[in-house]
Amino acid sequence: MKAAEPHPREAELLAAAAEARAGALCPFSKFPVGAAILDGAGRVWTGANVENASYTLGLCAERVALFYALAHGARDIQHVAIVTGAAAPSSPCGACRQILFEFAAAATVSSAVPDGQLLRTSVRELLPHGFDASSLT
């Protein structure tokens, strides 16, 4: 994937995602993830993954943060930061890519791990030819 340009607030967003990761509820996967989202008004919204014994009912950190932001009036999502404890930066899952495409298609995505490795891309690069409201017409 082509590397997107770094955002001036990328370090702040990654730190917020790392902090949010501490709130993850992941007793089944043991894979805590934190996310931070920057909206067009400059506000930062965070979330962590939440698992459920009925596995498919859990939510990834990216969707928790995005839904929280949207429910509180955030629009024009600029940047999504993700932090995991994996050996290499993790990309959003397919469901998160779809949701991000609908609400944050122009956003940059930065994914990092504690040792400093970073993957920077865009939502459109993660889901080329994505499905959104325009697909329904």
Query: Which residue among the candidates 10, 12, 19, 62 is catalytic per the annotation?
Result: 62
The sign of the dihedral angle between the CA atoms of 101, 103, 107, 112 is negative
| Residue 66: its H or E element | helix 61-71
> What backbone torsions phi and psi does residue 3 show, to the nearest 5 degrees?
-75, 125
Distance separating alpha carbons of residues 88 and 51, to the nearest angstrom = 22
| CA nearest neighbour of 70 among 40, 34, 110 | 40
The yes-or-no answer on residue 19 being catalytic is no
CB count within 10 Å of CB 99 equals: 21
Q: Which two tokens mark 55?
A: 């596995």
Collapsed DSSP state (helix, strand, coil) of residue 72: coil
User: Which positions are annotated as active-site residues?
Assistant: 62
